């Protein structure tokens, strides 16, 4: 097992606590002027990102003990972002969490 695969698996596991975008190393969405989510990744880009990242942790290719868990995280991110309904809900929720975190930082900076 190469150390690059070990790092890739560690990065996937770490990114799981942030977002599906980070798991798949895709750009994060942003809100437009009326707070609607804007995310310009295609299904093909999601699929390519999944395939590229899965090379390091596919259970048939890797003997790393955390590979199955990392692969499941990748699959969950791909499934969520490829389905238009779950993707929209995820984008809205992600932007709401980001806005809340940003406002919290702004409020603490004022005090």
pLDDT per residue as tens digits for the range 21-69: 999 999 999 999 998 999 999 999 999 999 999 999 998 988 999 999 9
Contact partners, residue 27, CB within 8 Å, separation at least 6: 21, 39, 40, 41
Query: Averaged over 77-91, what is the pLDDT?
Result: 97
Residue with structure tokens 């790393």?
64
> Contact, 46 vs 81, CB < 8 A?
yes
Any idea what the Cα angle at residue 43 is, between residues 41 and 46, rounded to 5°?
70
């Amino acid at each position: 097992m190469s150390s690059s695969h070990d790092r890739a698996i560690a990065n996937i596991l770490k990114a799981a606590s942030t977002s599906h975008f980070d798991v798949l190393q895709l750009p994060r969405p942003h809100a437009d002027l009326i707070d609607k989510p804007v995310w310009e990744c295609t299904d093909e880009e999601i699929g390519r990102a999944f395939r590229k990242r899965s090379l390091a942790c596919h259970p048939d290719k890797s003997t790393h003990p955390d590979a199955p868990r990392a692969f499941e995280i990748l699959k969950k991110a791909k499934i969520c972002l490829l389905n238009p309904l779950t993707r929209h809900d995820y984008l809205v929720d992600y932007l709401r969490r980001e806005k809340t975190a940003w406002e919290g930082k702004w409020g603490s900076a004022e005090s």
